[in-house]
Amino acid sequence: MRVIAAGAMVLDGAVRRPGWLEVSDGRIVDCGGGPPPRPADEDFPDCVVVPGFIDMHVHGGGGASYTDPDGVDAAAGFHLRHGTTTTLASLVTAAPAELIAGVRALAAATRRGTIAGIHLEGPWLSRSRCGAHDPARMRDPDAEEIDAVLSAGAGAIRMVTLAPELPGAEDAIRRFLDAGVVVAVGHTDATYEQTKRAIDAGATVGTHLFNAMPPLHHREPGPALALLQDAGVTVELIADGVHVHPEVVRAVMAAAGADRVALVTDAIAAAGRADGAFRLGAVAIDVAAGVARVRGTSTIAGSTATMDAIFRRVAADAGDAGLQAAARMTAATPARALGLQRVGTLRAGFEANLVVLDGALDVTAVTVRGEWRHT
């Protein structure tokens, strides 16, 4: 049993100055504002402690990719150093055999506890909104393939992104929901009405809102408006200053609220590395000035962001309200959207996954289930 104290803590969604929590066997057993009930074992008087970040959409980092079985630990370790204590590893569009192999490798990593599960971003996406996915490998949802993928995942697949306008999409949504998989709408050319039908069928997430979907138009509102309007939908935002204009991020936060916005990195292997040549699945990527694009095009190809950088962007200069909102959008909201239990909030009974941030909101220490993993 030990006590951790800090100049500020985001406890149960509220900023406490100062704050403390008591940890035992990897869980928070008590917490509160003000001075701790006994002398702290670890004290961070000039820091703020927030819940460990949860990234529900990330392809790699630190030079490693989740498409490479040998790179899974390195990618997860890189993002852990930036405060991400819970990772949903994302796979891009791939040929059937590659997809199954990738799912099996990440299912093994899930069983090891390296990641919290798998996000399938493809292959059931719109070719006209392919982004950095290989359109030649995209295909319509097929019941037999879906069953094979679910079997290979052995319960590790937590979310799938698909385009609801594709033939067979409604049956695919039902199959994934029956398997306990969260369904997200993304990489889609769907109309407003098609998106509404997908939501009615059970889709509850919008994959990187505005990116890889038709823009909002006053006569053809498209998927973005349908996703924003529904109170049961969580929308992902890549708030890296590249994918979405900062004022659009603020507008979405104001319209949907922090309880419906999940901040994600969509990071690729290039995160944490110098500019240069990389790959995202089968697609060649060039990174210049920190921006990843499909080689020879202007198409953005994932990001080089980390969750701590995104947290700083959203929380900066907004006082305690900014800290509260940023903590929700980087932890509590994605946890709820994915159905993850006992993570995402600093509260008694929850896992002691903490990020210690200094005055500039840079990461100084990270714990996973109460163990210091980065200091």
Residues ≥6 apart with Cβ < 8 Å to 283: 92, 132, 133, 134, 294, 295, 301
Terminal-to-terminal C-alpha distance of the chain: 20
Tell me how crowded residue 291 is: count the other CB atoms within 10 A of its CB: 17
Helix, strand, coil shares of the chain, percent, nearest 5, are 30, 30, 40
Q: Are 283 and 291 in contact (CB under 8 A)?
A: no
Q: Tokens 């069983």 belong to which residue?
A: 111
The pair of structure tokens assigned to 282 is 């089968």
| DSSP per-residue string spanning 305-353 | --HHHHHHHHHTTSHHHHHHHHHIIIIIHHHHHHT--S-SS--TTSB--
Q: Which amino acid is at 29?
A: V
Residue 335: half-sphere exposure toward Cβ, Cα within 13 Å: 23
User: What is the 8-class DSSP label of residue 141?
Assistant: -
Inter-CA distances, 166 with 52, 119, 162, 216, Å: 36, 19, 9, 20
Instruction: Measure the CA–CA gap between 274 and 287, rounded to whole angstroms.
Output: 8
The pairs formed by 282-290 with CB atoms below 8 angstroms and a separation of 24 or more are 282/94, 282/134, 282/137, 283/92, 283/132, 283/133, 283/134, 285/132
Residue from 55, 189, 266, 308 carrying the catalytic annotation: 266
Q: Would you state the structure tokens that stand for residue 269, as one six-digit string?
A: 């292997």
Active site residue 200: no
Q: Are strands 291-294 and 283-288 parallel, antiparallel or unpaired?
A: antiparallel
Cβ atoms < 10 Å from Cβ of 101 = 15
Distance CA 245, CA 188 (A): 20
List the catalytic residues. Answer: 266
